[in-house]
Structure 1
Amino acid sequence: MTRFRIKLTLTILGLISLVLLLMGMYFAKVLENSYLQSLHELLSRESKLIAQAVRFPDVFSNRTILEERVLQVAPSDEVRLTVIDKDGLVLYDNSTQANEMENHHDRPEFLAALNGDTGISRRYSVTLGHDMMYVAVPVMQGTEIVGAVRSAMSMKDITDTIHNMWYSLLTGLLVTLVVGSIVVSRISFSIIRPIEEITRVARNITQRQYESRVRIKAKDEIGQLAGAINFMASSLEQQMYEISENQQRLSGVLTNMTSGVIFISEQRRIMLVNPAVEKLLGTPGHEIVGKLHIEAGKSFGLSQYIDRCLDKSEKFREEVHIYYPEERVLDVNFAPYINFKGESRGVVVVLHDITDIRRLEKMRSDFVANVSHELRTPITSIKGFTETLLEGAMQDEETCRNFLQIISDESERLYRMIRDILDLSKIEQKRIPLHISQVHLQELIASTVAIINDQAQRKQLTIQLPGQESDISLMTDKDCLQQIVLNLLSNAVAYTPEGGSITILARHDEAEQQLKIQVIDTGIGIPEKDIPRIFERFYRVDKARSRDSGGTGLGLAIVKHLVENLHGQIRVESKEGRGTTFTVTLPLV
C-alpha cells in the first residue's frame, strides 16, 4: 500500500507540474510572439521610411549623400540600418564600416526584398555576436528595384525577458512541489490508511484467519465499506465452518467406500477419485487427477460410456470389463452432474467390483453342470444295465453277474462322489471340527501308503518314503493331514504310468517353523494353462483317463480346503510328460 501512496502523491504532483509547465509555455510563447510582432512592425516602418528617403538616384548612388540622408531620417543608433544595392554590395551600415562588410547577395531577407517582398529573418550575427531580427524592403526607382534597405535589432532583451520568466516559473514550480508534496502526502495518508486496514483484514481472510476485523469507526463511505467487510468476514467464517464440516463428512464417506467414485468435468478431465478407484485402476490418485479420462482409465469401453453420458446427459448403468492392472468386471453407474442452474457440468461415475460375484456365479454354474454330468454317467449305466436285466438277461447267470458287478461299481462310484461332495461342503463351511493332537509324521505317511499300496503294486509303481531323519512331530488334526496325503498319493497313482515312481519328502524349516511335505511323481504332468484350475471342483486335465481311474474330480479341491483349514498353503509345479510335484506347507505350532 506504500507504493500506492507514493504513486498517488507523484500523480497529483505530476499533474500540478504539468499544468504549470503548460501554462508557462503558453504564456512564454504569447509573450515572445507579442515582442516579435512589435519588433517586426517597428523594423518594417523603419526600413520603409529609409527606403522612401534614399530611392532617388542621386542619393542612392552617392554614399556621402546616402549616409547624410539616413542620419537625417533615423539619427538614433538603436536600430541597425543597412543599405544594399541590387548586387549585394553594402552601401551604408550605421554599425560597421560598409567597405569592411562582405557581400549580402545570399542573405534570405535581401533575396526576398529583391523579389519585391518584405524579407524577414532571424539568425545569429557574427558581426555583433548575438541573435538579431532582420527586416529588408526593396528600394524602388519607378518600377525598378535598385537595392534594399535592411533594418535589424537585437533579440537579446526578448531572450532575457523569456529566460527570466522561465526562472520565475521554475522557482514557483519548485515551491509548489514542496508545499504540494506535504499537503498531498497528508491527504493520501488519510485515504490510504483505511484501505490498508481493509486490505490487511482481506489478506487475513484469504489465510483463513476469519476472526480478523477492520478497526475503523468512520461514518463516511470508507466506514461503510469497513462495516461490510466485517459482516462478510463473520458470514464467511460461519460458511467456511459449515463447508469444512461437509467436506470432512464427504471425504470420510468417499475414503471408506468400497465402491469407486470418479468425477469427470465437462472438459472430460478427471477432477476427483477416491481410494477405491486407485485400487481398481492400479494408479495413485495424484497421477490420475487432471488427466483426460480416456488416458487415465485405460479402458475404451468405460471411456465410451463416459462420453455418452457427457453428450446425452442421461443416467444409466452398464457392466464394463477392464484389463489393467488386471482383468476385472465392474458394475458401473453413470449419472450427469447438474449444477444449481440446471446445467450439466460433468459426470459422476460409481464403480462396483463384481469380479468375485461373476466368478462365483460361473463356478456355481460349472459346479451344477459338472455334478449333473458326473451323476448322469453312473445313473445312466445303472439304469441301462438294470433295464437289460429286467428284459431277460437275468437268465444268463454269467451275464447277470457281470451286469450286477458293473451296477455295484457304478453305485460305489456314485456313493463316493456324493460323499466327497458332502465332505467338501462341510469343509468349506468349517463344519468339521479340528481335533488337535501330537502326530508323528513318518508313522502317518507309512499308514497312508499302506492304504494305497495295492493300487500302486497293480501298476508296478515304486513309492519312496521319507528317511528316519524325517521323523517329525507336530500338533495338528491327524485325520485331516492323513486325508491330504492320501488324496495326493491317490492322484499320483492315478496319473503315473506303469513302472513309474512316487517320492514322498518331508522337511522341517527351523527358521520359519514350518513343515513341508512333497509328493513327487513321474506321471503325465499337467499343461501349464491348466495348472491355475486344477483345484476347482470336477476340473480334469484328461477327462477320459480321470474317469477310468475312478476319480470323482473333487480330490484336489478337498485337499486345498483341508490345507487352508490347517492354516497352511499348497502349490504345484509340473511339466507335461515329466511329472508333477505337490508341496504342502504347514505350521509346526
Structure 2
Amino acid sequence: MTRFRIKLTLTILGLISLVLLLMGMYFAKVLENSYLQSLNELLSRESKLIAQAVQFPDVFSDRKTLEQRILQVAPTDEVRLTLIDTKGNVLYDNSTYAPEMENHHDRPEFLAALKGETGISRRYSETLGHDMMYVAVPIIQDTQIVGAVRSAMSMKDITDTIHNMWYSLLTGLLVTLVVGSIVVSRISFSIIRPIEEITRVARNITQRQYESRVRIKAKDEIGQLAGAINFMASSLEQQMYEISENQQRLSGVLTNMTSGVIFISEQRRIMLVNPAVEKLLGTAGHEIVGKLHIEAGKSFGLSKYIDRCLDNSEKFREEVHIYYPQERVLDVNFAPYINFKGEARGVVVVLHDITEIRRLEKMRSDFVANVSHELRTPITSIKGFTETLLEGAMQDEETCRNFLQIISDESERLYRMIRDILDLSKIEQKRLPLQMNQVHLQELITSAVAIMNDQAQRKQLSIALPNQTPEILLMTDRDCLQQIVLNLLSNAVAYTPEGGAITIHTEQNAQRVLIQVSDTGIGIPEKDIPRIFERFYRVDKARSRDSGGTGLGLAIVKHLVENLHGQISVQSREGQGTTFTVTLPFL
C-alpha cells in the first residue's frame, strides 16, 4: 500500500508541475507578445514622426539640417534612430558615427521600407552586442521614396523580464512541489489509511479472524465501504459460528452413534466414516478414507449394493453378512446423496449391527424348541403311564405303585422345570428384588454344603471347604448368593464320578471377592464351553436328564451373578474336571 501512496503522490505532483509549466509557458508567451507589440507600436510611431519631419528636400539633402531637425523631434537617445538613403548608405545615426557604419542595403526592414511598407525585424546587433528590434518606414517626397527612417530599441529589458518571470515561475514551482508534496502526502495518507485498514480486515477474514473490524467513522464512500466490510465480517462470523456449531453437533452425533455411517463419493471412494464403522470393519478411519469402497469394506455383498445405489440413485434397505474382522449380520440402509442442484453426488450408508438380535432370535427359537422338547418328555411319560393305569394296570398293586411313582417323579421334574423357567424369567427382567445385607461367606458356603451333603455321600464324594481365616464379610443378597453356590455344587456333584473330590476356594482383596468351585468330574469339551450358560444346553444330554437337571441351572447362575454386578468364568478339560469362578464386587 506504501507503493500506491507514492504513486498517487507522484501522480498528483506531476500533474501540478505539468499544469504550472504549461501555464508559465503560456503567460510568458503572452507577456513577450504584449511587450513586442507595444515596442513595435512605439518604434512605428517614432519612425513615422521622424519620416514626416525630414521628408522635405531642403532638410533631407543637408546632413547638418537633418541632424538638427531630428534632435528637435527626438532629443533623447532612448530609441536608436537611423536614416538611410535608397542606396543603403547611413545618413544619420544617433548612437554611432554614420560615415563609419556599413551599408544597410541588405537589411530586411530596409528592403521592406523601400517597397513602401513598414519593415519590422528582430535580430542580434553586432554594433551594440544584444538583441534589437528594428522598425523602418519609408521617407516619401512627392510620392517618391528617397530613403528610410529606422527606429531600434534594445530587447534586453524584455528578455530580462521574461527570464525573471521564468525564475519566479520555477521558484514558485519548487515551493509548490514542496508544499504540495506535504499536502498531497497528507491527503493520500487520509485516503490510503482507510483502504489499508479495510485491506487488513479483509486479510484477517481470509485467515478466519472474523472478529476483526474496520475502525473508521467517516460518512463518505470510504466510510460506507468500511461499514459494508464490518457488516460482512459480522455476518461471516455469525455464519461460521453456526457452521462450526452444526459441525460440532454433526460430529457429536456421528461419533456417538452406535450405527455405522459411511459416505461414498460419486468416484466410489470413501469420504467419511464414524467410529462405529471403524469397530464394524476393524480398521482405523484414516486408513480407509480416500480408498475405494470395495477395497476398504472387504465385503462383496456390501460393495455390490453401494454400486447399485450409485448407478440407480435409489433408496433401499438390505441385510448384509460380513466376515471380516469377524462374522456379523448388518441391517444396511442405502440412500443417494443429492446436492442442492438435485444431482446425485454419492451414497450415504447406515449400518446397524443386528448380529446380537439374530443370535437372540435363534436363542429364542432354540429355547422354544428346547422347552417344547423338555416339557413333552415328562408330559408324554405322565400321559402314557396314566393311560396304562386306566386301561387296567391299577389292578396290579405293585405295577400301579411303580407307575404312580414314575408319574410323581415326572410331575416333580415338570414342576422344577417350570419353576426354574419362571425364576429365570424374573431374574432376566430384573423383577427379583435384591435385599442387600452383610453376609458371612464361609457360613453361607457351609450351609450350602450341608444341603448337598446327602447327595455327595451317596456318590462317596469329598467336599473341601475354604479356609475359615480370615473371615470374609460381603454386602450382597444372601438368597441369590446361596442359589449360585447351590447350583454350582449341584452341577459338581451331578457330573463328578463316584469317589471324586469337590473343592471350594474363596479369596478377597480390596476390590473383589472370588469364589471357586472345582471338581474332578468328566469335564467339558472345549467346543461346548462358550454355550454352557445357554438355556437347556447340555453337554451330555442323556446323563443330564438322568441326573434330574433341567438344563437351566447355569443360565440362572449367570444371570444372578450379573444382577449382583459380578462375573462368572469357567475353565475345564475333558476328563480332568471343571472350575467355575465367580467374582463379586467387595462392597
Fold match by TM threshold 0.5: yes
* Conserved 8 A contact 2:506-2:515: no
Please give the alpha-carbon distance, in whole angstroms, between the structure 1 residues aligned to 2:319 and 2:188. Answer: 69
Residue in 1 aligned with 2:43? 43
Q: Work out whether 1:555 is the aligned partner of 2:561.
A: no
SS at match of 2:192: helix
The C-alpha deviation readout for 1:486-511, integer Å capped at 9, x for no partner, is 1111111111122222222xxx9887
Per the normalisation by structure 2, the TM-score is: 0.63
Distance 1:119 1:371, change over 3 A: farther
Which of structures 1 and 2 has the bigger CA Rg?
2
Distance 1:342 1:47, change over 3 A: farther
| Structure 1: distance between partners of 2:574 and 2:58 | 149
Using the TM superposition, give the Cα deviation of residue 145 of structure 1 relative to its aligned residue in structure 2, in angstroms: 71
Rounded Cα–Cα distance in structure 1 between residues aligned with 2:360 and 2:266:
38
- Indicate if the aligned counterparts of 2:466 and 2:506 stay in contact, CA closer than 8 A: no
Instruction: Report the CA distance shift for 1:444/1:210 in structure 2 as closer, same or farther (over 3 A).
Output: closer
Q: 1:34-67, CA deviations, whole angstroms, 9 ceiling, x for partnerless residues?
A: 9999999999999999999999999999999999
Q: TM-score, normalised by structure 1?
A: 0.62
Which segment is superposed worse, 469-478 or 207-216? 207-216
The change in CA–CA distance for 1:224 and 1:469 in structure 2 (over 3 A counts) is closer
What's the offset of the Cα at 1:482? 2.1
Q: Equivalents in 1 of 2:575, 2:59: separation in Å?
A: 150
User: Post-superposition shift, 1:445?
Assistant: 2.7
Cα separation, 2, equivalents of 1:125 and 1:478: 146
Aligned to 1:514: 512
What is the DSSP-based 3-state SS (H/G/I as helix, E as strand, rest coil) of the residue aligned with 2:147? strand
Structure-2 change in CA distance of 1:210 and 1:487 (3 Å): closer
Structure 1 residues 406-415 or 470-479, which shifts more? Answer: 470-479
CA apart distance, 1:236 = 4.1
Q: What is the rounded CA distance, in whole Å, between the counterparts of 2:107 and 2:454 in structure 1?
A: 148
Structure-1 separation of matches of 2:350 and 2:263: 9
Deviation of 1:383 (Å): 0.8
Following the alignment from structure 2 to structure 1, what is the Cα–Cα distance between the partners of residues 221 and 57?
Answer: 88
* CA–CA separation in structure 2 for the residues paired with 1:84 and 1:410: 175
What is the deviation of 1:548?
A: 1.2
Distance 1:225 1:494, change over 3 A: same
Q: Which runs of 5+ in 1 are unaligned?
A: none
Quick one: distance in 2 between partners of 1:121 and 1:538?
A: 143
Question: Is the 8 Å Cα contact of residues 417 and 552 (structure 1) preserved in structure 2?
Answer: yes
How far is 1:572 from its partner?
0.7
SS in 2 for 1:321: strand
Contact 2:121 2:133 in 1 (8 A): yes
Residues 289 and 131 (structure 1 numbering): CA distance in 2 closer, same or farther, change over 3 Å? farther
- Report the Cα offset of residue 577 of structure 1: 1.2
2:229 & 2:573 partners in 1: Cα distance? 80
Q: Which moved more, 1:6-15 or 1:307-316?
A: 6-15
SS of residue paired to 1:138: strand
Distance 1:216 1:582 in 2: 81
Q: CA deviation at 1:564?
A: 2.3
Residues 429 and 27 of structure 1: is their aligned pair in 2 closer, same or farther, counting only changes over 3 Å?
same
The verdict on how the C-alpha distance between 1:227 and 1:92 changes in structure 2, with shifts beyond 3 A counting, is same
More divergent stretch after superposition (59-68 vs 556-565): 59-68
Task: State the shift of 1:410 in Å.
Answer: 0.6
Distance change >3 Å, CA 215–CA 414, structure 1 → 2:
closer
- How far off its partner does 1:205 sit? 1.9
Map 1:371-382 → 2, pairs under 5 A: 371-382=371-382
Once the two structures are TM-superposed, the CA of residue 363 in structure 1 deviates from its matched residue by 2.1
- Identity among equivalent positions (%) equals 90
Mapped contact 2:85–2:148 kept (Cα < 8 A): yes
Contact kept, 8 Å, 2:472 with 2:508, in 1: the verdict is no
The alpha carbon displacement at 1:571 in A equals 1.1
Contact 2:568 2:582 in 1 (8 A): yes
Q: CA deviation at 1:469?
A: 3.6
Relative to structure 2, which stretch is displaced further, 209-218 or 314-323? 209-218
Contact 1:442 1:470 in 2 (8 A): no
CA distance in 2, matches of 1:286, 1:449: 58
Count residues in correspondence.
586
Deviation at 1:288, TM superposition (A): 3.6
Aligned to 1:492: 492
**Take 1:115 and 1:520, find their aligned partners in 2: how far apart are those partners?**
158
Q: Distance in 1 between matches of 2:475 and 2:517?
A: 21
Task: Write the deviation string for residues 525-560 of structure 1: whole angstroms up to 9, x where unpaired.
Answer: 111121111111111111111111110001111111
CA–CA distance in 1 between the matches of 2:67 and 2:304? 113
* CA contact 1:382–1:410 (8 Å) conserved in 2: yes
Which whole-Å CA distance do the structure 2 matches of 1:480 and 1:262 have between them? 46
Moved more, 429-438 or 574-583: 429-438
Q: 1:40 to 1:427 in 2, by over 3 A?
A: farther
Change in Cα spacing, 1:330 to 1:67, as seen in structure 2 (3 Å) is: farther
Change in CA separation of 1:339 and 1:510 when aligned onto 2, cut-off 3 Å? same
1:510–1:521 CA distance, 2 compared to 1 (3 A): closer
1:155 positional shift: 46
Q: Shift of the alpha carbon at 1:582?
A: 0.9
Q: Kindly provide the CA deviation profile for residues 176-232 of structure 1, in whole angstroms up to 9, marking residues without a partner as x.
A: 999999999999999999987765444222112346577999999999999987776
Q: Using a 3 Å threshold, how does the CA distance of structure 1 residues 286 and 147 change in structure 2: closer, same or farther?
A: farther
Greater alpha carbon shift after TM alignment, 270-279 vs 8-17: 8-17
Distance 1:238 1:585, change over 3 A: closer
Residues in 1 aligned to 2:17 and 2:374: alpha-carbon distance in whole angstroms: 110
Q: Which moved more, 1:64-73 or 1:386-395?
A: 64-73
Alignment partners' CA distance in 2, 1:304 and 1:150: 119
How much does 1:455 deviate? 2.3
After superposition, the Cα gap between the structure-2 partners of 1:79 and 1:575, relative to the gap in structure 1 and judged at 3 Å, is farther
Change (3 A) 1:128 1:221: same
Tell me the distance in 2 between the aligned counterparts of 1:542 and 1:138: 162
CA contact (8 A) 2:506 2:516 kept: no
| 1:447-478 C-alpha deviation (Å, 9 max, x unpaired) | 32232233223333232333444654434333
Q: Name the CA shift for 1:433/1:163 in 2 (closer, same or farther; >3 Å).
A: same
CA distance in 2, matches of 1:416, 1:98: 170
* Cα gap change, 1:214 to 1:425, in 2 (>3 Å): closer
